Amino acid sequence: MVYYTDDKITVRDMDERDPEVFAEGERAQGWEADESKLRKRLEERAEGRAICLAADFCGEPAGYVSVYPKYEHGAFAGRLPMIVDFAVLEKFRRRGVGGKLMDVAEDIAGRYSDEVGLGVGLNPGYGSAQRMYCKRGYLPDGSGVWYRNSVLGEYESCCNDDDLVLYFSKKLGGKP
């Protein structure tokens, strides 16, 4: 299914070829990448648990995101739809791809709730996403920092890896 298209950007359902293509693109830019993460998302889509989106820029796969109407992990477990695994390959950033992916993801989440949640990593690799979420009206949920799917207690140690996240939510319908 195609959710959005213009002369450069298309947002569509992720297909079976995308995990390999995105993993190759991520490795080429120096990220640790494994297609199994996106294959798992496709399995969860087949089970009816997720909507998996991919964006193309001028015909090339450029980014992806998944929406979970009922996500069972993190600060909003079972309460809000969640936007999960948002990524835009670096060579396609600042061209509107991420914004269109998020527009479609928020539209889909809005079918299930008037609010949507997401978690974002805290290491520098997530800086662009952190800024974009704030500009889009996402606010921290107030539960503090999470590590490996649990709230990180005061003065506890952790590693600043992909499992260290802060959760944000946004009211849908134009008002943050």
Amino acid 105: pLDDT: 98
**Sign (positive or negative) of CA dihedral 12, 14, 16, 18:** positive
Phi then psi for residue 120, to 5 deg, are -130, 140
Indicate the domain borders of the chain: 2-171
Alpha carbon distance 52, 166 (integer Å) = 22
Confidence check: pLDDT of 176 > 50: no
Q: What is the pTM of this model?
A: 0.92
Alpha carbon distance 68, 86 (integer Å) = 12
pLDDT class of 174 with cuts at 50, 70, 90: low
Interval 43-83: pLDDT, tens:
999 999 999 999 999 999 999 999 999 999 999 999 999 99
Could you tell me how far CA 30 lies from the centroid of its own chain? 19
Domain 2-171 sits in CATH at 3.40.630.30
